[in-house]
Structure 1
Amino acid sequence: QEGRSFMKVDIDLCNLAKRTTDYAMLVTMFGWFAMVISYVVYYVRQNQEDARRHLEYLKSLPSKPKKPDETDDISTVV
């Protein structure tokens, strides 16, 4: 009894493996890039929120009124 051939003769297995590897690498690179971009966006948003909270905290601190004849401790003249 003659069976059917297991593989087609015209299939190039090396080219198929290379193409599959290329697609896998492309998907992996896209996934990595998407994760990096999403982390940067998350980090920037979190940092803005922390900075806003810190600014509100600084504004809520009591400040002593400055006398008109007092000068600042920091000199801007170089």
Structure 2
Amino acid sequence: MTNPATNRPRPLRAAARIFGGITALIAGLANSGVITATQGSAIQGVITAVLVLLGTLGIVTVAEPKVTPLADPRDVQGRPLTSSD
């Protein structure tokens, strides 16, 4: 009997493998002398910045529809959640 949880797609693990592999490749290139340590650090800094940007965008995209704004709270149909008096 297989566990259904093990057959689920794991997009975060796939992304972590890709970015981890790229980071390891860059570190390997820097350590072997193909690129300088400064170049390797700069590339890893860019990768980190891109990951932070994508992570922030993902959090905002997922969370924003679940948050009720305090300035003009409305339900899914657009009706005000507070009384007008």
Both structures adopt the same fold (TM-score exceeding 0.5): no
TM-score category, normalised to shorter length? 0.3 to 0.5
Larger radius of gyration: 1
**When the two structures are superposed, what TM-score results if normalisation uses the length of structure 2?**
0.41
**When the two structures are superposed, what TM-score results if normalisation uses the length of structure 1?**
0.44
Question: 1 or 2 for the larger relative contact order (CA 8 Å, sep ≥6)?
Answer: 2
